[in-house]
Amino acid sequence: MRTRDLIARGVHTDALYALREGGQIVELDRGLYRLAEMNEAEQPDLAVVAARAPNAAVCLISALSYHEITTQIPSSVHVAVPRGRYHGIKLSTPVTVYRFDPKTFEEGLETHRVGGMPLKIYSPARTVVDCFKFRNKIGLDVALEALRLARQRKHVQNRDLLHYARMLRVEKLMSPYLQAIE
């Protein structure tokens, strides 16, 4: 929970600090807490992003890692926000912010629960296509590996990939790779 949520429920800040010092709650990030008896989230960085940036969506390498279709280990949490809107994301964990077209931002967006918080994250098919779109920033090798692993592990179908490829205008780029991997 966030500090402001606890205060809204009648918990005084002095009581909050006493609970933290007594080990009954654990501070995940500045102003963000969980009960000590709760198990730590499998992906604590994503839980912090879910709490701190509810309007952002996990994308690219972080989404690949979440869906287990990469061997890459993200050095920061990759999040997307609609272009033209102030994102205001301030986290203690490293974050890389990408600005996506507002017209296509919601396409392929799923909501999962991480650490008890709803987390917006792109579907495997949308994530693979995004990797091709941002290949100059993350590397073509990452995009090709994601496509290969997603196809092997049956996470995506060609029709879904082509749908997002057309929408994001990378169909001509992806077509030869889709034919080669089939």
* 19 plus 99 within the same structural domain: no
* 29 plus 49 within the same structural domain: no
Dihedral (CA of 108, 85, 60, 43) sign: negative
* 108 plus 84 within the same structural domain: yes
Q: Is 94 exposed, middle or buried (0-12, 13-18, 19+ CB in 10 A)?
A: exposed
Question: Over the stretch 142-171, which tens digit does the pLDDT of each residue have?
Answer: 999 999 999 998 889 999 999 999 999 999
Q: Is 172 exposed, middle or buried (0-12, 13-18, 19+ CB in 10 A)?
A: exposed
- Mean pLDDT for the chain? 86
Question: Over the stretch 117-148, which tens digit does the pLDDT of each residue have?
Answer: 789 999 999 999 999 999 999 999 999 999 99
Helix (H, G, I), strand (E, B) or coil at 27: strand
* 128 plus 108 within the same structural domain: yes
What pLDDT, on a 0 to 100 scale, did the predictor assign at position 36?
66
* 31 plus 57 within the same structural domain: no
Q: Is the distance from CB of 101 to CB of 119 less than 8 angstroms?
A: no
Phi and psi of 156, rounded to 5°? -135, 160
* 55 plus 20 within the same structural domain: no
* 78 plus 161 within the same structural domain: yes
Tally of domains within the chain: 2
Domain encompassing residue 27:
3-35
Q: Is 146 exposed, middle or buried (0-12, 13-18, 19+ CB in 10 A)?
A: buried
Helix (H, G, I), strand (E, B) or coil at 172: helix
* 72 plus 140 within the same structural domain: yes
Phi and psi of 151, rounded to 5°? -70, -45
* 12 plus 77 within the same structural domain: no
* 53 plus 141 within the same structural domain: yes
Phi and psi of 15, rounded to 5°? -65, -40
Averaged over 105-110, what is the pLDDT? 96
pTM of the full structure: 0.78
Q: Residue 118's domain is classified under what CATH number?
A: 3.30.460
Question: Over the stretch 26-43, which tens digit does the pLDDT of each residue have?
Answer: 777 677 676 667 665 567
* 97 plus 148 within the same structural domain: yes
Q: Is 30 exposed, middle or buried (0-12, 13-18, 19+ CB in 10 A)?
A: exposed
* 111 plus 170 within the same structural domain: yes
- The contacts found for 82-86 with CB under 8 angstroms, 24 or more apart, are none
Pairing of strands 32-35, 117-122: unpaired
